[in-house]
Amino acid sequence: MFHGANILAVDMAKISFIGAGSVVFSKNLICDILQNKELENSVICLMDIDPARLKVAEILARKVVAQLGVPARVEATLDLRKACTGARYVITMIQVGGYKPATVTDFEIPKKYGLRQTIADTLGVGGVFRALRTMPELVKVGNALREFGSPDPLFLNYSNPMAMNMMAIDRVCGVPSVGLCHSVQGTSHQLAGYAGLPHKDISYKVAGINHVAFFLEFKYRGQDAYPLLFQALENPQVFAADRVRFEMMRRLGYFVTESSEHFSEYCPWFIHHGEKMVRDFGIPLDEYLRRCESIIATWKDTEKKMLADSRVSIGKSLEYGSQIIYSMESGVPVVVYGNVPNHGLITNLPSRCSVEVPCLVDAQGIQPTVIGELPPQLAAMCRTNIAVQELAVEAFLTGKREHIYHAVMMDPHTSSQLPLDAIWKMCDELIEAHQRDGFLPQFAPVRRNTGRGAASLERVMVSIEDAGSPADNAAADLVLVVENTTGSRFKGDLKLELDATAFRLGRPPKVACQVAAGGVLRIPFRVRRLRPGVPLAVGAGCASPLVFSKHFLQPVREIVQPGKDSVKVIWSGNTVAEGAIVREKSGLKLALRIHDTDIQINRDAFWDGSAIELFFAPTARQAGAPLQLVVLPDRKNPRITALKDPRAIPGAKISVRADKGGYDTEIFIPWKAVGAPAGQPFLMELQVRVNALGDAHGRVAAIWQGSAKPQQESGNFAVILP
696: number of Cβ within 10 Å: 7
pLDDT (0 to 100) of residue 719: 79
Determine the length of the chain.
Answer: 722
pLDDT at residue 551 is higher than 70:
yes
Predicted confidence (pLDDT) at residue 260 exceeds the cutoff of 70: yes
**Angle between helical axes of 376-398 and 162-172 (0-180°, round to 10):** 60
Where does the pLDDT of residue 5 fall: very low under 50, low under 70, confident under 90, or very high at 90 and above? very low
Tell me the three-class secondary structure of 291-354, residue by residue: HHHHHHHHHHHHHHHHHHCCCCCCCCCCCCHHHHHHHHHHCCCEEEEEEEECCCCECCCCCCCE
Distance of CA 73 to the CA centre of its chain: 47
CB 633 within 8 A of CB 612: yes
- Whether the ω angle into residue 101 lies within 30 degrees of 0, i.e. cis, is yes
Of residues 698, 684, 682, the one with CA closest to residue 612 = 684
Q: Tell me the mean pLDDT in the region 199-211.
A: 98
Contact between 622 and 628 (Cβ < 8 Å): no
The pLDDT value given to residue 506: 81
pLDDT at 636: 87
Rounded distance, CA 327 to CA 152, Å? 15
Q: Which residues of 486-517 are buried (b: 16+ CB within 10 A; e: fewer)?
A: beeebebebebebeeebbeeeeeeebebebee
Kindly report the CATH number that applies to the domain delimited by 559-720: 2.60.40.1190
pLDDT at position 239 is 96
Mean pLDDT value of segment 546-556: 86
Sequence spans of domains, the chain: 14-182+290-368, 183-285, 458-554, 559-720
Of the pLDDT bands very low, low, confident and very high (cuts 50, 70, 90), residue 548 is: very high
Domain 458-554 sits in which CATH superfamily? Immunoglobulins (2.60.40.10)
So which residues are the catalytic ones? Answer: 182
Residue range 625-673, pLDDT digits in tens: 678 899 999 988 888 988 777 677 889 999 999 999 999 999 999 988 8
CATH architecture of residue range(s) 14-182+290-368 = Alpha-Beta Complex (3.90)
Mean pLDDT of 157-181: 97
Tell me the one-letter amino acid at 477. D
What proportion of the chain, given as a percentage, has pLDDT over 90?
Answer: 73
Kindly tell me if the per-residue pLDDT of 471 is higher than 70. no
pLDDT of residue 722: 67
Return the pLDDT at 678: 67
> Does residue 12 have a pLDDT over 90?
no
Question: pLDDT confidence of 393, banded at 50, 70, 90?
Answer: very high
pLDDT of residue 683: 84
**Nearest by Cα to 407 from 442, 378, 431:** 431
Q: What is the end-to-end Cα distance of the chain in Å, rounded?
A: 87
Q: Which residues pair with 91 in a beta bridge?
A: 17, 156
Q: Residue 163 above 80 pLDDT? A: yes
Q: Which residues pair with 462 in a beta bridge?
A: 482, 549
Q: Hey, which bits of 128-211 come out as E strands?
A: 154-157, 177-179, 202-209
Please write the tens of the pLDDT for every residue from 37-81: 999 999 999 999 999 999 999 999 999 999 999 999 999 999 999
Q: Residue 720 pLDDT > 50, yes or no?
A: yes
Question: Span 351-368, mean pLDDT?
Answer: 97
pLDDT at residue 4 above 50?
Answer: no
Q: Give the phi and the psi of residue 549 in degrees, each rounded to 5.
A: -115, 125
Other Cβ atoms within 10 Å of 27 Cβ, number = 23
Burial of 440 (0-12, 13-18, 19+ CB in 10 A): buried
pLDDT given at position 352: 96
pTM of the predicted model, to two decimals? 0.83
The domains spanning 458-554 and 559-720 adopt the same CATH topology: yes
CA–CA separation, 300 and 442 (whole Å): 36
Q: What is the pLDDT of residues 333-359, one digit of tens each?
A: 999 999 999 999 999 999 999 999 999
According to the model, what pLDDT value does residue 708 have? 54
Contact 261, 289 (CB under 8 A): no
C-alpha torsion angle, residues 257, 259, 265, 267 (rounded to 10): 40
- Which tens digit of pLDDT belongs to each residue from 431-455? 999 999 999 999 987 766 666 666 6
Q: Tell me: pLDDT of 2 over 50.
A: no
Q: How high does pLDDT run on average in the chain?
A: 91
pLDDT score for 7:
39
Average pLDDT over residues 182-202: 97
Q: Is the pLDDT of residue 713 over 80?
A: no
Q: Span 388-400, mean pLDDT?
A: 97
- pLDDT in the model for residue 230: 97
184: pLDDT strictly greater than 50: yes
Average pLDDT over residues 81-93: 98
Bridge pairing between strands 566-571 and 574-583: antiparallel
Q: What is the pLDDT of residue 714?
A: 45
Which pLDDT band, with edges at 50, 70 and 90, does 709 fall under? low
- Please give the average per-residue pLDDT across 521-545, as a whole number: 88
Q: Convert the pLDDT of each residue in 415-436 to its tens digit.
A: 999 999 999 999 999 999 999 9
Q: Which letter does DSSP use for residue 388 in this model?
A: H
pLDDT for 625 equals 61
